[in-house]
């Protein structure tokens, strides 16, 4: 890890990600610090970051989650847990 954040590179290839899938993936990550309101915040941020064809890359999801963490809307552990969920999902595509 670099002093400026994770040095891990994620795929920039966009994949279709429909709102139902986002909702399922975010709600699948159950931790005490991520309540219903936080889940909604994450869902809306990811949905807003998709392009017009409902496509989004894993790198873009990472950027969205990083922004939410830096702005204090989710914790570091939430960001890491959610990235694990999305990485697993994208690896199955």
- What are the DSSP calls for 13-81, one per residue? --EE--HHHHHHHHHHS--TT--HHHHHHHHHHHHHHS-TTSEE-HHHHHHHHHHHHHTTSS-HHHHHH
Name the stretches of the chain with pLDDT < 70: 1-8, 30-32
Q: What is the pLDDT of residue 34?
A: 84
**pTM given for the model:** 0.86
pLDDT given for residue 28 in this prediction: 79
Looking at residue 90, its pLDDT comes to 95
Which pLDDT does position 79 carry in this prediction? 93
pLDDT reported for residue 2: 46
Q: For residue 93, what pLDDT is reported?
A: 84
């Amino acid at each position: 890890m670099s002093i400026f954040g994770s040095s891990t590179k994620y795929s920039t290839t966009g994949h279709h990600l429909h709102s139902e899938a986002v909702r399922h993936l975010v709600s699948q990550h159950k931790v005490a610090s991520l309540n219903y309101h936080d889940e909604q915040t994450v869902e809306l941020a990811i949905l807003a970051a998709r392009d017009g064809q409902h496509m989004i890359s894993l790198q873009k999801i990472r950027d969205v989650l990083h922004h939410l963490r830096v702005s204090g809307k989710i914790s570091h552990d939430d960001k890491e847990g959610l990235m694990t969920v999305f990485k697993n999902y994208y690896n199955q595509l």
